[in-house]
Each structure stands twice: as structure tokens, then as C-alpha cells.
Structure 1
Amino acid sequence: MKTVFVTVGTTSFDELIESVTSQETTQVLSALGYKKLVLQVGRGAVLPGSDSCAGLQVNAFRFKDSIAEDIRDADLVISHAGAGSCLEALGARRPLLVVVNDRLMDNHQLELAKQLHSESHLLYCTCSTLTQTLRTMDLSVLAPFLPGQPQNFSRFLDQAVGLHTE
């Protein structure tokens, strides 16, 4: 069964959960052949029920010890732009669409998404552009993220937050 896994990590990002479960977005997901939507909602107030999205089987949970199996079983991962969630999805070689929380100020999320997008590892958008991004995305353009090079990622993060100026 073609599955989308959505994760907000340990944070609260209700806007993402509301956007991905909106009627317009679920219609696009169904049109793309997805049948199952698995939602990890974290500390958020929104916890959709199993019958909340017409045409999609929905499974929502807050936390579990590991989401590795959910990521591995997904045909598409939609994630907040947290570094840990991005690395976990990319390390599992799953197609990744990152949704940047544009309501957060002075954070590394947009810079991280732009950098990994420029290297063709992921696609990114905001909640307001999620549906359109899903409509027009081409997952075949994504390049695998090569594991085993954590120094490259840490170097980027150091530069993004101003700790390293090389």
C-alpha cells in the first residue's frame, strides 16, 4: 500500500498536520496513488482520527521509541525541517519533502532545507505551498544522500549558525 509518513519530531507543528490532512491535500495524495497516511504529531494539539481523511487510511500517534520502521515503510516522507528527522529520512533513502515552519524566526530550518535541496537530496516548501508542491513534485530528480559523512553535515550546521567560518 503506497504510504506517506509525516513527522514533526519532538516539536509541535500543528500547521503541518492541518495542512497535510486538509481536503485539498488529501485529494492530491489520493490522485498520486497514496492510500495510507501515517502521522507522527509530537506535542501538537491536533491528533487526527482514523476516518479524518476521505480516501486515505490514517494512523496518527504522538511519540514512539523509534520511527525508523515508519520511515522505512514510507514511499514518501514529509517532515518538519529538523536536522535529526531530515538525516533519518535521507539515511533511509526515502524521498523527502521538508516543510519549513516559516513562523519560526532566526532558525536554521530554511538554510538546511535550501542546502540539501541545492544538492538534490530533498524537496522543500512551506505549509502554504504544500499542496502545490505535491502536485508538481518530481521525486525522480532526487539524489541519494551518501551516509558516513557526518563531518559535512556538522560543518554546514556550524557555518549556518556562525560557529565556523571556513
Structure 2
Amino acid sequence: MSTVIVCTGATTTFRELVKAVTSDKFIRILEENGVTKLVIQYGNEKADDVHISRAFFEECFAPVGQLEQDINGIESLQVGKVRVCGFAFSHSIASYIAESDVVVSHAGTGSILDALRLGKSLVVVVNESLMDNHQEEVAREFMSRGHCSVARPHEIASAVVDVLTHKRQFKKFESCTNKIVEGIIFNEASLAT
């Protein structure tokens, strides 16, 4: 039994990532590799009275079935042997990450550092629709140091399978490395402004 968590970012809807991880193909591949739970933090984008992120997440599952919502706002649906759970935002995302075996994350530095500090296997997906594509530089730097893999949305399934089957392993994120990487992130952020 394994759990995969997907962190798409808290503000805008990373549509390509949400669409990729809610696809029947992706969920079937997870099931074939022993994953029993898929947790998706799908974003908290709103406009007027419309929760854009939630509407898009629900739309992705419309062909499969109706999502049920619990009192905490967690939506869930059983797809084969995989329990899919989704939520917009959590102040305690680290607790969800801690309970997972593999993390698929957008290339936000906070999400990357949360996963690495908790010692999780990490697949980073760059949101190329964001301005100046600074996420690409940050993701590639973590990958070059051996801490994660980087995948495009259409490559996520194979990247996650490589982690689940131990074909891909990563270097432990040490506290001394932490200071170096945080410096790199600071430098990248300074160049982007």
C-alpha cells in the first residue's frame, strides 16, 4: 500500500498537472504499482463567487463519478483500488506530505523544500505558464544535486513508476545542503525580479 500526494500550488490552478494526475491512465498505472491512495491539493483559485480550482478538479472526475465531500471539505472518490482525495488548500500541507510515499509537486520552492525536509521521494513538475519560467531553473538545480526528478505533465506517470519501483533514487537532503540550496533559490528569485 502506497500513497502519492500531488501539490499543485495554492493560488492558481495548474490545469496541466491536475488533468494529468486525474486521468484514468495515471490512476490505473498507480493501481498497477500498489498505490491505494492519491491525494491531490488542486489549488485555491477563485474569481467572484466561483472556486475555479475546485470546479476544474470536479470537472476532471465528471466522467468517472460523483465526488463526495466530508465535513472538512475533502472530496473523495474510489477509482478501482485507488482512493482519490482532493482539497483546495491546507495550512498543514506538511502533514499530508509526511503521510505520503511519493510527492509530485509543482516547482514552488516551499513545496519542494517541504518534501525534501521530510525525506520524501519527489517528482517536480514545472508550471511553464508562469511568468519568466523561474520554476524551471529552481527545479533543474534540485535535480542536478540529485534530490528529485523533473517531469513534464505527460511524463508524470513514468517518473512516479520509476520512484515506486526503485529505478530512481535520490540523495538525502542534508541540513548543510539546505543552506546552499536556499541560497541558490534566493539568488534565482533575485534575478527574476
When normalised by structure 1's length, the TM-score is 0.86
After superposition, the CA RMSD in angstroms is: 2.0
What's 1:98 paired with?
124
* Secondary structure of 2:57's aligned partner: coil
In 1, the alpha carbon distance for the partners of 2:189 and 2:91 equals 29
Instruction: Note the 1:80-159 alignment, pairs <5 A.
Output: 80-137=106-163, 138=166, 140-147=168-175, 150-159=178-187
More strand by share: 2
Shift of 1:128: 2.1
Contact 2:77 2:85 in 1 (8 A): no
In 1, the alpha carbon distance for the partners of 2:151 and 2:83 equals 24
5+ long unaligned stretches in structure 2:
45-52, 59-66, 68-75
* Secondary structure of 1:29's aligned partner: helix
Instruction: Give the partner amino acid of 1:2.
Output: S
Shift of 1:55: 2.8
In 1, the alpha carbon distance for the partners of 2:182 and 2:30 equals 34
How many percent identity over aligned positions? 34
Number of paired residues?
163
* Secondary structure of 2:138's aligned partner: helix
What's 2:3 paired with?
3
In 2, the alpha carbon distance for the partners of 1:140 and 1:28 equals 17
Instruction: Give the partner amino acid of 1:67.
Output: I
User: Which is further off, 105-114 or 131-140?
Assistant: 131-140
Deviations 1:98-120 (A, max 9, x none): 11112334132111111111111
In 1, the alpha carbon distance for the partners of 2:38 and 2:183 equals 34
* Max Rg structure: 2
5+ long unaligned stretches in structure 1:
none
When normalised by structure 2's length, the TM-score is 0.75
